[in-house]
Structures are given as structure tokens and as C-alpha cells.
Amino acid sequence: MTSSPDLLANPSTERYRLGRLLGNGGFGDVHEAWDPALQRSVAIKRLKPDLVRDQPDNLLQEARLAASLRHPAFIQIYSLEDDGHSKSIVMELVGGKTLHQLLATTKLARDQILDIVCQLADAMAQAHAAGLIHGDLKPANLMIEPSGQVRIMDFGLARKIDPLATESGDVLQTQGTIAYLAPEILNGKHPNTLSDIYAVGVLMYEMMHGERPFAHLHGLALAAAQVQSSCAKWTFALDADQDMVALVRAMCAPDPSTRIPTMMEVQQTARSLYRAGTHTAPSLPTVPNLAAVSGPSPINRRRITYSALVLILLLIGAFITSLSGSNNLPRQWIPSVSDAARMSNGMAALRHFDRDGSLDIATENFEAILAKQPEHAAAMAGMAIAYALRYAGDRSDASWLQRADASAQMALALNDQLALGYAAKSLVRWQQNRNEESLKFSQQALQLDPSNLFALNTKNGALLDLQRYSEAELSINKAREAHPTERLFIDQIGDLRFREHDYIRAEQAFRQSIDVDPDAVYAYANLSAALIRQGRDTEALQILQQGLQVRPNGQLYSNLGAALFNREDYVGAAKAFQHAVSASKGTSIAYLRWANLADTLRWIPGREQDSQQAYRNAAAILRPLLKQSPDNATNVSRMGLYAAKLGDKTTAFLMSQKAVTTDADNPNIRFRAAVAYEIIGRRDDALNELSSAQRLGYPTKLIGTEPDLLALRSDPRFDLLRMERE
């Protein structure tokens, strides 16, 4: 017998002698254990700390509710332990196999199936009578003991501890939770007693046939089939017992109002069918291995966090919108498996490219079309856009842009009258910083389809990058007329105002963007930047926290770091920037984020070498971009600043001088040049550039908080500059 040092170190569980690891899942590890005080074997499930979302009193209440259910199908909970850092459930150790394991090796007889249904329905009838539902009945959550006794696992635990977790693995796989959800749940209704009945019906079908309905489908295709089809059309074996078929159909009726209404009626019907046969008591195969199960933690319907609803919103609703310009989901939207619907779904997912998983959804739909129709020009163009957006999010892999370019060319070769093909080509050229060519392709797309969203977006972006602001404003306004509720163009107005240094109007635009789509985290990042430029750091921090509550995002962490840096909280800023360059919460190939981290580490004692390495990382990422676009004044000025901080005075001077000459009216470039000159010992040049930056509107507060200008701010000539500004 082995022990777990981690668990044994906890005062609340040290009385138990821990044995082998029985399993682990979304909630935590489960160990077999021996209780020497009571001389019995138990199972201990230690819950992951980050998954325990409720107060301890609430979890204790749920354990008490579970313990109140006396049916033998429910696992006994012995205690709920708390060591101050995590919680552990001590529960009954049950021998047997899950129904999922059993069906993988055994074909169940008619009376065995009916006996399992009887036990399950009888237990759930008691739970429903107590006002409790399960909401996640599936083969992996049912244990069959060697005696044939059914035991119900994870009663409500997934919803209480982690609304997205399941013990069976990836919910998109064929054995995942989604396969047992009733159609009304997939349409956004709350789990209820009738949805539990539906799940029992699917389980009964699976026991009869060895596989669930639509076993060949998963993910969105499975969800579509379950909602669009009816159990009346399910395929049953030719020799299937027709009374059992009728019971399955009664439990799985697509309209809940026509479904068999209670678990007690399910139990009574199954019991009558069982008794109608001439047979002896069922004998299930011997299953000697032990498996630990989590005790029931039923959830009161009035207080439940509905896992099924959250799940389906994540799988379907978060990324799919109609193509009419509305950001709101159709009330009864369900993805279809037709090519036309796949194309629509893929394009809708692309519109929300900044959402986690949206590009995967788009690619999955386009690939499904191309697998059947390799010369489908629109799907090829969609793939090109998806590839280009992947490159935009992770510039470390140039192959994405190469694939995007090849796919766009192929789309146009297949159909040179397809607006989407030209839009894809325009996006590729924009990502390549070939803005004039991008404009040409976007114009070709708009001649064929004047309201094409992607062509309008890239046209506006190219005009902004070319600093043709008057044209950009006209183009953005026309785009907003064509798509009045599309947040992308509201963001572009904010971007335009920010570039014009009109931070108040930029703030207004970004707030409007959040109102239109509160789940788009980039608007929070942009709004925080506008607030920082106005010296409203406290408000910026509040906005960033709102964005992080939506979802972690590298740009949010980057802006959080900037806000904390301005408050001289260098340790906090460094932590934020480290998140921004991490693979899990940001990206490691954004040179600006590495530079921000480097700037911050310089002011933390003992981190000088780390700072230098971060600057080297930033310069290494920026160098190929400069080679590609040598006249990009912004990037040139940044390379000059990084060179100064790395001690390369010659490169710092030449790069800064070139940037100022190329774009003399940009206050950001003037300010970076001032800092670079100060670092390399050119105080006079630094003061001159600082004067220009102030005159062009660079915020006085940011000048006053820049650590590299600390010595310069003690120069009497700086006081003269400040007085001139005032």
C-alpha cells in the first residue's frame, strides 16, 4: 500500500492511511484509504482548490442534502474535511464497474437492462420528490456492484464545484455529457426532472444496443442531431423488445410535455415489463475491481448553477451569430450539418475571432466542407481568413500566413468572382504590412459585395496603418451604416481617435463597444489604454478587472501591467507582464510585452539580468518585422529604444533619428526618442524630443512617471519645458 505525501500532510486527513490512487478527474484525485478508528475502507476525494467556488458552509449544506437521501443507490458521505487550503470528501468505497466500463465488454440481457432502469428510476424518484435533480446522468456516473446494485455517482457535484467539469473527460467526445442532454437543455432551458428522465431513456437505449443514438457524431454535429431529430426516428434493432422501445421513446420524446412525466412512472413501467417476462432474477457479470466514487452532492433546483446550460453556451452560443449584422443569437439556433449551414457557422465564428476556440470552430466547419468538396472556393477562402487570424494571434509561426496566402490564391483560382476570396487576400496582405496591396484587394471584394464584413475591416485597418485618417473615418462610417450593430467598426472608431490622441472620444467608442458586446475582452483593454492616457489609472484598473472576469487575456494583462507600472508598483506590474508573455494566458511572441516586462524588471532589485534577457527577446522578435517593413517608424523607434537599454548606443541613436525623421508628428515616437537619447547620454537631444512630444500632446503625467527620465526631470531646463506646457 502506497501513501500520498500531499494528502497525509493535511491535518484533516492524517487519521487515514492512504492507499492506491483510484482515479482522478475534473474535481480532484480519489484515493482508497483505511480508517483505523472505525476499522473500515473508505474513499477520499480531495477537491482541487481552484474548483471549490462556494463558501465552506454552502458545501457542507450540499453534503448534508446528499446524506439525507436514504436510497441504497446513493453513495454514503462520511465526512467533509477542510484543512484550510482544500476540501476532501470522505465517502463509501464501492466495488464494481461503471456502466460505461461494463457496456464496453458485456452485452446486457433484457431483464438486466430493466432491473438497472428500475433501480435508477426508483432512486431518482426519491431525489425528485426531495426537490433535487442530477443533471448529468451518463454511463460514467453509474456504478454497478457485483451484486447488480446500481450506485449513482457525482450527484450534482459537477454543478456545485465546477460547472464545466465532468468525470468522463472531454465533453465533445462521444461519451461526453452532451450525448445525454435533452433537446430543451440544448436550447437553453434549465435542467429539470424531465431532462433527467430523458437521460435515463438514452441510457436505456445504450444498454439495449451497446451504443448511444448518433454514436458516430460528437460536438456541435451531435447537438444538432439531438435537437433536429426525434427518438421516433432512432434506429432500433430488429429484434428489440417493442415494449422497451416504447418506453425509451416515452422517456425521450422531444417535446417535454409529451414525455413520461415522472420517474415513479418510469420505475413502474419498467417493473411491469420486468415482471411480465418468465425469468429468474438477473445476474450481472462479476466485477471484482474496486472503484471509488464521489458521494452524492445534490443541488436544490432553486440554487443550482446549471452546468448543461453553461456547457452549451460555451460550445455553441459564444461564437455563433447570424450574418445579418446582429450580435445576438437566434433564440432557437442549432447548428446544422448541411454545407450551407457549415459555411454560415464558420463565417460567424470568424467574426468573433478574439473568443477562445472560435478559430477552431471555423476551421472545423470549413474542413468538413472541403473534405467532401475540395474545390469549394468559399470554404477555401474561409480557411485563408482563419489561418491569417491565427497568425495575427501568434506571429511566432509564419507558416500560418503562408498557408493563408496559398489558400486565398487557391480560392481566387477556383472562383475569381468570389468577394470572400478577395477579402481573404486583402487580409493576408494587411498582415504582411503590404497595405496598398491590401487596399486594392479589399476594393475588389467590395465591388462584388459592398457590405462584405471582412473586406471592410481590412480596408479600414490598412487606411489606419497608412495614417490616412480622413479616408479611414469615412470608410468606417460607411461600414457602420452597413453593419450598425457590429462592434468591430466601433472599435475601429476608437482606434482612430486613439491614434489622433483624442482619448476622450476614444474612451466613448470603447465603452460603446462593450455595451454592444460585453464578452469581447479587447474592448476592455482598449478602454483601459484610453483611460491611462487620460491619467485615470484607478478607473483603468477597474475596467481591466472587469475584462479579466470575462476571461484571461494577454492584452488585458499587458495593460494591467502598464497601469501598475504607472503607479510605481513594479512587482505587481512584473507579475502582470509575465502573464502577458506566458503561453497559457498570453503569447510569448509579442515583442511589446517582452519590452514592457523588461522595463519593469529593471526597477526590481536583483532582476537586472532578467530585464536584459527580456529586452533581447523583444529585439529578436522585432528584428524580422523591421526587415519586412524597414520604414515602419513606430517599430524603428522601438528598436532604437531597446538598443539603448541594451547598451548599443550607435544603433539607438541611428534608429531613433530615423524614426523621428520618418514620422515627425507622432508624439509617441518623439517620446521614445527622448527616452533613448537620455539613456545613451544625449541630454540636449532628449530635452528637444521631449519638448516636441509635449507639444504634440503626449500626456504630461506619463512623462512625469517615466523612470528613465528621473535624472532629466531634475534638470532646470525640464522645469522650463513644463512651464511652457502649462
Task: Give catalytic residue positions.
Answer: 136
Residue of 455, 395, 462, 393 whose CA lies nearest to 421: 455
Q: What single-letter amino acid sits at 306?
A: Y
Q: Is 41 helix (H, G, I), strand (E, B) or coil?
A: strand
Q: Is 34 helix (H, G, I), strand (E, B) or coil?
A: strand
Q: In Å, what is the CA distance from 239 to each residue of 115, 234, 282, 313?
A: 20, 15, 20, 39
Cα(572)–Cα(474) distance, rounded to whole angstroms? 41
Q: How far is C-alpha 536 from the geometric centre of its chain's CA atoms?
A: 30
Q: Is 253 exposed, middle or buried (0-12, 13-18, 19+ CB in 10 A)?
A: buried
Q: Per the annotation, does 45 bind a ligand?
A: yes
Give every CB contact of residue 109 below 8 A, 6+ residues apart in sequence.
282
Length of the chain: 726
Partner residues linked to 46 by β-bridges: 29, 88
Q: Is 91 helix (H, G, I), strand (E, B) or coil?
A: strand
For residues 170 and 144, is the Cβ–Cβ distance under 8 A?
no
Instruction: Tell me the three-class secondary structure of 673-697, residue by residue.
Output: HHHHHHHCCCHHHHHHHHHHHHHCC
φ and ψ at 495, to 5 degrees? Answer: -60, -45
Ordered DSSP codes for 243-286: HHHHHHHHHS-SSGGGS---HHHHHHHHHHHHHHS------PPP
Cα(270)–Cα(115) distance, rounded to whole angstroms? 8
**For residue 245, what is its C-alpha cell?**
422501445
Cα(167)–Cα(709) distance, rounded to whole angstroms? 56
> Residue 313 has what DSSP assignment?
I
Give every CB contact of residue 712 below 8 A, 6+ residues apart in sequence.
678, 683, 686, 687, 690, 718
For residues 175 and 322, is the Cβ–Cβ distance under 8 A?
no
Cα(691)–Cα(672) distance, rounded to whole angstroms? 12
Give first-to-last CA distance, the chain, whole Å.
77
Binding-site members are 45
Binding-site members for ATP are 45
